[in-house]
Structure 1
Amino acid sequence: MSRSHGKVVLITGGAGGIGAAIARRFGTQGALIALVDLDEQQLRNQVQSLTELGISVKAWTVDVTNHTATTEVVQQVSEHFGSLDLLVLSAGLTQVSLFEHTQADVIRRVMEVNFFGAVNFVQASLPGLIASRGQIVVLSSIAGFAPLIGRTGYCASKHALHGFFDTLRAELTNQSVGVTIVCPSFVATEFATKGLQGDGSQINFDRSTTGRMLQPDQVADAIYRACQRRRPLVVLTGLGKVAYWISRVAPSWYQYMMSKRFSQEFDRQPIRTS
């Protein structure tokens, strides 16, 4: 019998490509799935798909930035399933625009979803996870440990996640709660097309990518394996691993190469100084 059999897995961003793939991966191993997302119709679609696979699943529509609502949802999940064993934080929002052309409210929105949304769910879930000696998995990015031009808000939110969860892992050692940070590179989902431009409007251009494009199921498989081993950090793909080490050993060279690769996304204008 799988070690995931009968475990309760709560997934934020559960209607998205990666979240749905994680639900399938754990659900087919006998886990009980709680999906959380803001997109009610997509949630319904995912529940139907998972149910057809014989997976036990229930969904909740909630805005992760609403502290009161997230607290209520976690309580309902625990009451419905009886416990909570794994919290997967997959909800996220990207931003693609040079900072000089980005409104402050856009940065705040990205931070609210990516960072404070995760904090909301951890705060509500922690008592249950301590009781079950469970685990937290947070979806980060290469942008969580290295700069990425045109994504100041997104990088800030992901760097914040690393600082928060690395520290939380140390705090929870004696409670036997695991914390895993997962850093994919580029994944074939609709995530980037639902992000924000500097004025707050939805992205309407193709993003630049580099290296091998991951499929959501590949990310889900990596997360499943990492959970079995309670790994603290998982950096996916060869490109991601190279970026991780170069950004530490030779940060200036990394910045040069990254800027050269991604600056073509933007129609640069001179910064006004007066």
Structure 2
Amino acid sequence: MTSEKTVLITGTSSGIGLAAAIGSARAGWTTIATMRDTGKAEGVLKAAAEAGVADRIQVKCLDVTDTESIAACLDEVVAEHGRLDALVNNAGAAQVGTIEQSTLDEVRAAMEVNFFGVVAMTRAVLPHLRASRGRVITVSSVGGVVGQPFNEAYCAAKFAVEGFMQSLAPVAATVGVDVTVIEPGAVASEFVANLGLDVPALLAAAGPYAPALQAYIARTRDSFGNAQTPAEAAAPIIDALTADRPAFRIQTSQWARDFVATTLADPDGSAVQTLTHTWVR
């Protein structure tokens, strides 16, 4: 057992999650780096060794869509470390397609990982975070604020995450738990590569949507050419972990701030939070 602060991060086999695990360990946190398949742990373990923080990172198996897996992982963490001070909800999966040509099972699968996984993790950790007066940090997306073509299911899940967290934040604050959402834009990571999209096949099957899909794919390729690195996108997560009072909503770049401002007149979420906090105090 340890008195050092402990953070559990989901989806750490690559990308933002891996970078956040290394960043939190560098910041002095005992870091529980979780992933569904621990056979993919080599990346985070190698990065931890190179950063000189291998002694602060522990890899554990966790599937955010499996309540038994969540419970087993949390039981181990609390038994071994005696506390949990923060959760970083990072695990997620993209789903590209428009609704007429997507199955309901595909839409439900996107919601299961990107929304219900976040809900299940947050629900499970709250008793521990109340005890430590900790915080929940959730990686959302600019797609949780601005709906994007051919991302209906993904954006719907991220919009749901934002509504869930915005509603939870004032209630959690009454028991000492801070809630923050992180909104990255394009990030150069395996998240995109792992989609395994067969673009010619997609276009061939798109029927009347083919011209729009082709334009979307071209625009997306261009945007990822100027993407943030995972480490750049993860830096605000570490800031939120260590800040005395992190903002509710944090974008990871000026581009992301400008983009969400097309929808939001309250970019950091403070106006809504100031309002709704008065409803529970």
TM-score by length of 2: 0.80
Equivalence for 2:26: 28
Q: Which residue of 1 aligns with 2:236?
A: 222
Q: In the alignment, residue 204 of structure 1 is paired with which amino acid?
A: D
The 1:45/1:244 distance shift into structure 2, 3 A limit, reads closer
Q: Identity of counterpart residues, as a percentage?
A: 29
Partners of 1:14 and 1:218 lie apart in 2 by 15
Q: Are residues 1:208 and 2:221 paired?
A: yes
- The CA distance in 1 between the partners of 2:264 and 2:240, in whole Å, is 23
SS state at 1:247 partner: coil
Give the corresponding residue for 1:234.
250
Structure 1, residues 214-270: CA drift from partner, whole Å, max 9, x if none? 111112212212331422110122222222122347xxxxxxxxxxxxxxxxxxxxx
**SS class of match (1:191):** helix
| SS of equivalent to 2:262 | helix
- For residue 149 of structure 2, what is the aligned residue in structure 1? 149
Q: Is 1:246 aligned to 2:262, yes or no?
A: yes
1:59 positional shift: 1.4
User: Matches of 1:236 and 1:36 in 2, distance apart?
Assistant: 22
User: Which structure has greater helix proportion?
Assistant: 2
1:54 and 2:53 equivalent?
A: yes
Cα offset, 1:49, TM superposition = 3.4
Report how many aligned residue pairs link the two structures.
239
Preserved CA contact (<8 Å) 2:142 2:184: yes
Question: Could you report, residue by residue, the CA deviation over 1:184-243 in whole angstroms, capped at 9, with x for unpaired residues?
Answer: 000010102223xxxxxx423464353841111112212212331422110122222222
Secondary structure of the 1:246 match is coil
* Paired residues of 1:71 and 1:120 also in contact (CA < 8 A): no
Contact 2:14 2:43 in 1 (8 A): no
Answer yes or no: is 1:181 the counterpart of 2:194: no
The residue identity in structure 1 corresponding to 2:198 is N
- Could you say what secondary structure the match of 2:179 adopts? strand
Name the CA distance, whole Å, in 1 between partners of 2:119 and 2:42. Answer: 26
Following the alignment from structure 1 to structure 2, what is the Cα–Cα distance between the partners of residues 94 and 78? 31
Which position in structure 2 is the counterpart of 1:18?
A: 16
Pairwise mapping of residues 1-274 of structure 1 onto structure 2 (< 5 A)? 6-51=4-49, 53-55=52-54, 56-195=56-195, 202-205=196-199, 207-210=220-223, 212-227=226-241, 228=243, 229-248=245-264
Deviation beyond 4 Å, 4+ runs, structure 1: none
Contact 2:137 2:180 in 1 (8 A): yes
SS in 1 for 2:17: helix
Q: State the alpha-carbon separation in 1 of the partners of residues 94 and 233 from structure 2.
A: 18
Structure 1: tracts of 5 or more residues without a match: 196-201, 250-274
2:32 aligns to what SS in structure 1?
Answer: strand
Query: 1:48 offset after TM fit, Å?
Result: 4.4
Structure 2 counterpart of 1:184, one-letter code: P
Q: The residue matched to 2:228 in structure 1 has which SS? A: coil
- TM-score, length basis structure 1: 0.82
Q: Which amino acid aligns with 1:58?
A: Q
Tell me, in whole angstroms, the C-alpha distance in 1 between the residues paired with 2:78 and 2:147: 38
